[in-house]
Amino acid sequence: MRPTQRPLFLLKSFARFAAAVTRSGMVSAEGGPRAALKLVPNLARYWFTTAREIEQGAAAVPDRLALIDDTGALTYRQLRHDARKVAKWLLQEQEQRELDELRIGVMARNGRGIILPLGAKGYAGGHIYLLNIGSSPQQLRGIIDENDINVLFIDDEFRDRLPNDLTGVTVVRAYEDVVVKGVVDKQLPVWPKHGNLVLMSSGTTGIPKGIVRPEPRLPFVVAGYLEAIPWRAGDTVQLTASIFHTWGWSALQVALATRSTIVTQRVFDAENCFRQIEAFRCDGLISSPIFFKQMLDLDENYDTSTLRYLATAGNAVTPALLRRTTERFGPILANIYGSTELALAAAASPEQMQADPTTVGKIPPGTVLKLYDDHGTEVPTGETGRIFLHNETALRGYTNPDTPMVEIDGLIEMGDMGYIDADGFLHVQSRSDDMIIVGGENVHPQSVVEVLDDMPGIDEVYAHGVDDDETFKRIAVWIVRDDNSAGVTADDVRDWVRERLADHSVPRDVRFVDTLPRNAVGKVVPRFLPGLGQKN
């Protein structure tokens, strides 16, 4: 973008932002003059962090329910109290251990166990790392060491993945160890030093990549969500999307900013999700295609008539899934397209989805998105190219500076191929490589090959994505045993991968073959493998 174009671009972005937040009711008279007086100071102190949304929510609607999770319910006043208590404990920990800065890791499922540390980070300052709950013990050790994490909030169910000789890290149970026990008499900083928000990749190869994202000051991209999703102030939303991922984290921020009541469950259960929607009369369901599919597969009779919108991200919405959700819930499905590195790239409203199921929507305010060919030349409207973009929520880089990042003209590559039609709608056609998505998690087959190459008893191995009724895609492997290892079993293979990679990389199918079919230059020919056939 030329410098002379930037003022007009920002003006248009702000106009869309203002229109969207006004329509949603985010800027309203809720809370009266007292809450209005806190609006600017809270923004100056906390930026658009989770802490700011909690603080402003407590000022505007202190007695409204903010969260209903597996532990119970919290009002906005109680959520503020608990988040500030965790922040004071963190500051005490920093002082007692003489830490230069707080580097907070969180490995927790949806609920207060992850929301309170996010809020506390905004109050106390420091950096926060949202760890993928599928990380193996080996990966967890690598993440902690590579990022110098010095405080770790972790759900009890994941504690057995911690190394026995872990040093330099204070490990606490998410939520309970800090909030339930004791009172810390510490003064919170007036001007917290806002560090980075770091989300971890799915970790398909070695140590998961740490994606460094800034805490936004003016999140224009929020307007993209609100333009596509008819989210209104005071809504009740069931949040199934995992908060440790970009989609779930983004939805949490929008929910708090609209002073919504957030309903969660730690482990997704389709029938319980229906029960929650009916019991709490939810206005919205924020989820992913895999979970929608599980709900649609149930033979149930719950009342979901209060739902005004469904919002999805993480996998492509197929025409069949759109048709099934429309038949069950009505034409209310909105689609969000983005990535861990680049957050929101496009959003399609329910009306846009119904008109054209192949679109992923309009490009949000504050975002520059362009398509380039393999030579770095921008492609014209209607032609396929590699997707690049930038906005203020895009990654600053990776925690490991050696991790490559592809840029053209200051824009960062998404890793997908697509085109923009004459009406300005983005269409995504495929990944730029052969990565597959397993239940919302990115998995690269080559990562499984590299791990199994080191397994005793295996001579050759090939991995490929296959269709799966439960998770849309899963990894399958074809293995040639060495001459002395007929005893290697499918469970042995799965256990080997499970110890070294995240759960979603564990192969569903393990097939033992005498040879791998190869062409003249030595490459495996997938269509000749049993179980793939002519489909490949």
Secondary element (H or E) of residue 536: none
Per the structure, the complete domain to which residue 511 belongs is given by: 436-535
Tokens 């983004």 map to which residue? Answer: 250
At 383, list the tokens.
């032609």
pLDDT tens, position by position, 323-342: 889 999 999 999 999 988 88
Secondary element (H or E) of residue 442: strand 441-443
How many residues comprise the chain? Answer: 536
Q: Are 220 and 459 in contact (CB under 8 A)?
A: no
pLDDT at position 1 is: 57
Rounded Cα–Cα distance for residues 66 and 251 (Å): 14
Answer yes or no: is pLDDT of 520 > 60: no
Structural domain includes residue 398: no
pLDDT at position 534 is: 41
pLDDT tens, position by position, 152-173: 999 999 999 998 888 999 999 8
pLDDT at position 25 is: 79
CB within 8 Å of 260: residues ≥ 6 apart: 231, 233, 234, 235, 236, 237
CB within 8 Å of 203: residues ≥ 6 apart: 132, 134, 135, 136, 139, 209, 501, 502
Q: What is the CA radius of gyration of the chain?
A: 24
Structural domain includes residue 499: yes
Alpha helices in 240-387 (DSSP H): 246-257, 270-280, 289-296, 319-329, 350-355
Q: Which residue has the higher pLDDT, 124 or 216?
A: 124
pLDDT tens, position by position, 342-354: 889 999 999 999 9
Instruction: Say what percent of the chain tops pLDDT 70.
Output: 93
Count CA atoms within 13 Å of residue 525 on its CB side: 11
Q: Are 244 and 199 in contact (CB under 8 A)?
A: yes
Backbone φ, ψ for residue 355 (5° rounding): -70, -35
Structural domain includes residue 470: yes
At 529, list the tokens.
């493998």
Rounded Cα–Cα distance for residues 260 and 67 (Å): 9
Structural domain includes residue 507: yes
Alpha carbon distances (Å) from 15 to 11, 200, 345, 364, 365: 6, 33, 19, 12, 9
pLDDT at position 180 is: 63
CATH number, domain of 459, equals 3.30.300.30
Structural domain includes residue 57: no
Task: State mean pLDDT over 398-404.
Answer: 86
Backbone φ, ψ for residue 55 (5° rounding): -60, -45
pLDDT at position 341 is: 83
Rounded Cα–Cα distance for residues 247 and 110 (Å): 13
Rounded Cα–Cα distance for residues 209 and 216 (Å): 21
Structural domain includes residue 513: yes
pLDDT at position 144 is: 94
pLDDT tens, position by position, 280-339: 999 999 999 888 988 998 978 999 999 999 999 977 787 778 988 999 999 999 999 998
Residue 193: exposed, middle, or buried by beta-carbon count in 10 A (0-12, 13-18, 19+)?
exposed
- Residue type present at position 233: A
Nearest to residue 345, comparing CAs of 181, 228, 491?
Answer: 228
Q: Are 143 and 210 in contact (CB under 8 A)?
A: yes
pLDDT tens, position by position, 85-143: 999 999 999 999 999 999 999 999 999 999 999 999 999 999 999 998 888 898 899 99
Structural domain includes residue 455: yes
Bridge partners of 411? 408
Task: State mean pLDDT over 244-255.
Answer: 93
Secondary element (H or E) of residue 235: none
Nearest to residue 247, comparing CAs of 342, 152, 143?
Answer: 342
At 228, list the tokens.
């596509």
Answer yes or no: is pLDDT of 536 > 50: no
Sign for the CA dihedral angle at 31, 37, 43, 46 comes to negative
Task: State mean pLDDT over 387-413.
Answer: 89
Bridge partners of 105? 129, 152
Ranges 23-27, 405-409, 452-456: which has the least confidence: 23-27
Indicate the number of domains in the chain: 1
219 pLDDT tier (thresholds 50, 70, 90): confident
Helix (H, G, I), strand (E, B) or coil at 458: strand
Q: Which residue has the higher pLDDT, 181 or 67?
A: 67
72 pLDDT tier (thresholds 50, 70, 90): very high
The helix-helix angle for 246-257 and 221-228 (nearest 10°) equals 80
> Going along 174-308, which residue ranges are E strands?
194-200, 210-213, 236-239, 261-263, 284-287
Structural domain includes residue 78: no
- From edge to edge, which strands make up the β-sheet containing 284-287? 72-75, 65-69, 261-263, 236-239, 284-287, 309-312, 333-339, 343-348
Answer yes or no: is pLDDT of 521 > 60: no
